[in-house]
Amino acid sequence: MQRNILITGGAGFIGSHVVRRLVHQYPNDQIINIDALTYAGNLMSLQDIQMLPNYTFVKADITDEQFILSIFEKYQITHVVHLAAESHVDRSIHDPLSFVKTNVIGTANLLNAARIVWKDNFGNKKFYHISTDEVFGSLGEQGMFSESTPYNPHSPYSASKASSDHLVRAYFDTYGLPVVISNCSNNYGSHQFPEKLIPLVVNNIVTRKNIPIYGAGNNVRDWLWVEDHARAIDLILSEGKLGETYCIGGNNEWKNIDLVKLICTLTDELLGRENGDSISLIQHVTDRLGHDQRYAIDATKLENELAWKPTQDFPQALKETIQWYLNNQDWVNAVTSGEYQKFYSLNYK
Ligand code: NAD
Ligand code: TYD
pLDDT at residue number 117: 98
pTM: 0.98
pLDDT of amino acid 344: 87
What per-residue confidence (pLDDT) applies to 284?
A: 98
Q: Give the chain's end-to-end CA distance (angstroms, integer).
A: 54
Report the C-alpha gap between 219 and 20 in whole angstroms. Answer: 32
d(CA 77, CA 12): 21
Give the residue, out of 83, 97, 302, with the most ligand 1 atoms within 8 A of its beta carbon, to mutate for a pocket test: 83
Binding-site residues, ligand 2, Cβ < 6 A? 89, 186, 196-197, 200, 212-214, 219, 221, 256, 288
Catalytic site positions: 133-134, 157
- Ligand 1: does its nearest atom lie under 6 Å from the Cβ of 40? yes
CB atoms within 10 A of CB 150: 7
CA 196 – ligand 1 centroid, Å: 12
One pLDDT digit (tens) per residue for the chain, 349 residues? 999 999 999 999 999 999 999 999 999 999 999 999 999 999 999 999 999 999 999 999 999 999 999 999 999 999 999 999 999 999 999 999 999 999 999 999 999 999 999 997 999 999 999 999 999 999 999 999 999 999 999 999 999 999 999 999 999 999 999 999 999 999 999 999 999 999 999 999 999 999 999 999 999 999 999 999 999 999 999 999 999 999 999 999 999 999 999 999 999 999 999 989 999 999 999 999 999 999 999 999 999 999 999 998 999 999 999 999 999 999 999 898 877 788 888 888 8
pLDDT of residue 343: 83
294 in Cβ contact with 217 (< 8 Å): no
Contact 12 CB / ligand 1 (< 6 Å): yes
Expressed in percent and rounded to 5, the helix, strand and coil fractions of the chain are: 45, 15, 35
Q: Which phi and psi angles does 188 have, rounded to 5°?
A: -135, 155
Cα–ligand 1 centroid distance for 12 (angstroms) = 6
How many whole angstroms from 277 Cα to the centroid of ligand 1? 34
The domains of the chain, with CATH numbers, are 4-189+223-253+293-312 (3.40.50.720)
CA–CA distances in Å: residue 335 to residues 59, 102, 247, 338: 18, 21, 31, 8
Ligand nearest, relative to CA of residue 259: 2
